[in-house]
């Protein structure tokens, strides 16, 4: 849901110069946006845990298509590479390691769903507001050279936005180190198993490796599902 919201807004902004005669790309953008939103809603409402993860793949893939339609090819492929290729695989891995029953799992609902809805709406509103405020008057010229090619994106990122980029990498490094520290501590204390499946007894290398690589984004998702 959070993921779909900005894309819809961007499409609304894209329609602005001519609401009455939208181009084919704009129509496609809108349709893909609706599909993405639908997949995202199913992701958070389905009662089957693994199906939620798979619908998330659809939502993220739809988002990648939106990037493509906005001519940001590089961002689109990175989106697929990082989110679909790594984050969702990690999610599925975590689900399979802990609990992934086939069929409905009604006990997976937490009591926080209204709070979660509130937080989701608030952050969606914030994102919508920021994006609309920033890009309301920005148009992409589809006929000219691609404005989101790798070269353009790279130049933009490393000329105008180097400082935030580096700050982010420091943040990720801190998260990485933190994840390693946390997982090591747990190993030395008791080494309790995480679920019904094996995986703890095999070796600590796997555990440390997977946790550390994905600590920043993976850990919250896993905790939430449990």
Partner 1 sequence: MNDVLDVALRLAIVFVVFLVAPLLVGQTEHKVMAHMQGRLGPMYAGGFHGWAQLVADGVKFAQKEDVVPAAADRRVFQLAPAVALLPYLLVLAVIPLGPGDGAVGQLVDAGIFFVLAVMGIGVLGSLMAGWASANKFSLLGGLRTAAQLLSYELPMLLAAASVAMAAGTVSLTGILDAFAWWWLPWQIVGALVFFVAGLAELQRPPFDMPVADSEIIFGAYTEYTGLRFALFLLAEYAGIVILCALTTVLFLGGWHGPFGADGLGWLWTLLKTALLAFVVIWLRVSYPRLREDQLQKLAWTTLVPLALAQIALTGIVKVAIS
Q: Which of 40/124 has CB closer to partner 1?
A: 40
CA angle 176/159/84 to nearest 5° reads: 45
CB of 50 to partner 1, least distance (A): 6
CB of 203 to partner 1, least distance (A): 4
How many CA atoms lie less than 13 Å away from 163 in the CB half-sphere?
Answer: 1
Q: Which of 77/135 has CB closer to partner 1?
A: 77
CB of 141 to partner 1, least distance (A): 17
For residues 109, 110, 111, 113, the Cα torsion angle rounded to the nearest 10 degrees is -80
Q: Which of 26/207 has CB closer to partner 1?
A: 207
Give whole-number Cα distances, 14 to 7, 17, 141, in Å: 10, 7, 11
CB of 86 to partner 1, least distance (A): 7
Residue 89: how many CB atoms within 10 A of its CB? 14
Q: Which of 150/175 has CB closer to partner 1?
A: 150
| Nearest to 212, CA basis, from 185, 167, 177 | 177
Q: Which of 203/224 has CB closer to partner 1?
A: 203
CB of 28 to partner 1, least distance (A): 18
Exposure b/e, 68-85, CB count within 10 A at least 16 = b:
bbbbbbbbbebbbeebbe
Query: Would you tell me which residues interact with partner 1 (CB under 8 A)?
Result: 48, 50-51, 54, 57, 73-74, 77-78, 80-81, 84-86, 88-90, 92-93, 96-97, 100, 102-103, 146, 149-150, 197-199, 202-203, 205-206, 209-210, 213-214
CB of 72 to partner 1, least distance (A): 10
Burial class (CB in 10 A: 0-12, 13-18, 19+), 108: middle
Question: The tokens of 87 are what?
Answer: 């984050």
Give whole-number Cα distances, 101 to 49, 150, 163, in Å: 8, 42, 45
Q: Which of 14/61 has CB closer to partner 1?
A: 61
């Amino acid at each position: 849901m959070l993921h779909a919201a900005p894309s819809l807004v961007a499409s609304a902004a894209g329609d602005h110069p001519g609401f009455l005669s939208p181009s084919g790309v704009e129509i496609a953008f809108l349709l893909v946006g609706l599909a993405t939103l639908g997949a995202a809603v199913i992701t958070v409402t389905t009662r089957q845990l693994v199906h939620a993860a798979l619908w998330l793949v659809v939502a993220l893939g739809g988002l990648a298509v939106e990037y493509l339609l906005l001519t940001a090819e590089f961002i689109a492929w990175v989106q697929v590479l990082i989110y679909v290729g790594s984050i969702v695989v990690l999610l599925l891995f975590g689900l399979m390691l802990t609990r992934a029953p086939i069929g409905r799992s009604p006990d997976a609902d937490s009591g926080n769903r209204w709070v979660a809805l509130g937080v989701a709406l608030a952050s969606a509103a914030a994102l919508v507001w920021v994006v609309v405020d920033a890009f309301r008057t920005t148009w992409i010229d589809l006929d000219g050279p691609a404005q989101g090619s790798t070269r353009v994106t790279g130049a933009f990122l490393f000329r105008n936005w180097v400082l935030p980029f580096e700050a982010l990498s420091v943040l990720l490094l801190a998260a990485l180190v933190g994840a390693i520290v946390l997982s090591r501590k747990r190993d030395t204390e008791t080494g309790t198993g995480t679920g019904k499946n094996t995986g703890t007894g095999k070796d600590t290398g796997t555990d440390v490796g997977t946790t550390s690589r994905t600590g920043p984004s993976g850990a919250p998702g896993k905790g939430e599902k449990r």
